[in-house]
């Protein structure tokens, strides 16, 4: 599947900027001290939804509406941020949004999706079961399936990546969380379009290792998705199109423990006074794991979102969160 060109990414930016401004990228002295090198953070927690997913949803929804102008709405599966993006994009287009989440999903993310006007349905024990149910609903209700990975989603995520890579001094390495893959594919698109040599490293929660295993095995491999803290990267089955892009453009995919993710969330709060949800903190968690090898390198961290339930964040700060069991 081809990645968008520089002109196509800029076209997507024009669409995104009708709804939101570019987000900032900052280097924070305390984070630099913590990692022992120069670190830049892309603050996608500063979008109107508190996460990068708005960008991809806006671009994808606009394209879907052009392709199927008679549609009355979308069906999407999510753990929260993608559903907020789909809900907001549908609302802006005057369409209906039906969002399917697994049981036990974030209470506050559920409330945020309903606030966007979406119909919320709980089904299944993990994201994959919610996704399969969403596809059935799309057929039954004659609505358009708002897929969790599509090349137009990567066009949208490439808009933040282009801002990041153009808004910082040249980065030697950038760590990007992987959920279904649109974010890291967008980063690859922007890097390639700018002709840069920045090393791209994908990061997953060790409690949901499917993308790391699949990257190593060079094929789609399903694995249990047991993430409790980093629900936004709790993928059971990788998307083959996203994997092909990773194979060609990503240096490696690494796993981080949920205890390290919690440490990274605390570090973001202590050093920058920003909130990072678990999935948003996995990039910093990876840099913390690899800090000994980062000395003298300029490092990029993508903080993909800050939407975390208050009780969960309080448990993280108090060291009271029981980590998920990894394989």
Count of structural domains, the chain: 2
98 & 159 share domain: no
pTM (2 d.p.) = 0.93
44 and 14 together in one domain: yes
Q: Tell me: do 139 and 283 sit in the same domain.
A: no
Please say whether the dihedral angle defined by the alpha carbons of residues 282, 269, 29 and 289, taken in this order, is positive or negative: negative
Same domain (yes/no): 45, 58: no
Q: Residue 84's Cα: distance from chain center in Å? A: 13
| Alpha carbon distances (Å) from 6 to 125, 148, 297 | 40, 23, 26
pLDDT at site 296: 97
At residue 270, the pLDDT reads: 97
Q: What pLDDT is attached to residue 38?
A: 98
End-to-end CA distance of the chain: 31
List the chain residues with pLDDT less than 50. 325-327
Closest CA to 77 of 153, 134, 138: 134
16 and 72 part of one domain? no
How would you label 12-24 residue by residue, b for 16+ Cβ within 10 Å and e otherwise? bbebbeeeeebbe
The answer on 172 and 70 residing in a single domain is no
Tell whether 178 is covered by a domain: yes
Give the separation between CA 77 and CA 104, rounded to whole angstroms. 14
CA–CA dist 127, 238 (Å, integer)? 12
Domain boundary residue, one of 145, 178, 202: 145
Q: Which two tokens stand for residue 96?
A: 């209906």
Is residue 323 in a domain?
A: no
CA 178/CA 212 separation, integer angstroms: 9
Residue 227 within a domain? yes
Are 113 and 202 members of one domain? no
| Closest listed residue to residue 192, CA positions, set 172, 165, 160 | 165
Could you write out the three-class secondary structure of 123-191? CCCCHHHHHHHHHHHHHHHCCEECCCCCHHHHHHHHHHHHHHHHHCCCCCEEEEECCCCHHHHHHHHHH
What CATH number is attached to the domain comprising 162? 3.40.50.1100
Q: Do 11 and 152 contact (CB within 8 A), yes or no? A: no
Q: Are residues 126 and 193 in the same domain?
A: no
pLDDT of residue 325: 46
Specify if 1 maps to a domain.
Answer: no
What residue has token string 């670190």?
Answer: 39
Task: Note whether 27 and 139 are same-domain residues.
Answer: no
Residue 250 lies in a domain: yes
pLDDT of residue 322: 59
Give the Cβ contact number of residue 30 at 10 Å. 13
13 within a domain of the structure (yes/no) = yes
Q: Which domain holds residue 227?
A: 6-51+151-317
């Amino acid at each position: 599947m081809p990645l968008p060109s520089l002109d196509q990414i800029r076209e997507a930016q024009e669409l995104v900027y009708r709804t939101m401004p570019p987000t900032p990228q900052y280097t924070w002295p305390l984070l630099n001290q913590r990692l022992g090198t120069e670190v830049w953070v892309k603050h996608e927690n500063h979008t109107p939804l508190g996460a990068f997913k708005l960008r991809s949803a806006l671009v994808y929804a606009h394209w879907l509406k052009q392709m199927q102008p008679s549609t009355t709405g979308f069906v999407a599966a999510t753990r929260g941020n993608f559903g907020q993006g789909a809900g907001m994009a549908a609302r802006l287009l005057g369409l209906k949004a039906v969002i399917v989440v697994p049981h036990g999903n974030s209470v506050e993310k559920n409330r945020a999706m309903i606030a966007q006007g979406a119909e919320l349905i709980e089904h299944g024990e993990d994201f994959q079961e919610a996704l399969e149910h969403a596809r059935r609903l799309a057929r039954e209700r004659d609505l358009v399936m708002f897929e969790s990975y599509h090349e137009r989603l990567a066009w949208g995520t490439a808009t933040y990546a282009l801002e990041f890579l153009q808004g910082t001094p040249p980065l030697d390495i950038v760590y990007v969380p992987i959920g279904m893959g649109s974010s890291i594919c967008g980063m690859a698109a922007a890097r390639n379009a700018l002709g840069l040599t920045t090393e791209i490293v994908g990061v997953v929660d060790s409690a949901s290792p499917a993308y790391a295993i699949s990257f190593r095995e060079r094929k789609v491999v399903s694995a249990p998705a047991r993430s409790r803290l980093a629900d936004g990267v709790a993928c059971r089955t990788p998307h083959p199109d996203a994997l092909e892009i990773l194979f060609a453009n990503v240096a490696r995919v690494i796993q981080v423990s949920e205890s390290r993710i919690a440490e990274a969330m605390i570090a973001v709060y202590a050093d920058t006074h920003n909130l990072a949800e678990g999935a948003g903190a996995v990039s910093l968690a990876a840099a913390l794991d690899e800090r000994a090898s980062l000395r003298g390198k300029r490092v990029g961290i993508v903080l993909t979102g800050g939407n975390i339930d208050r009780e969960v964040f309080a448990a993280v700060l108090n060291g009271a969160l029981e980590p998920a069991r990894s394989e």
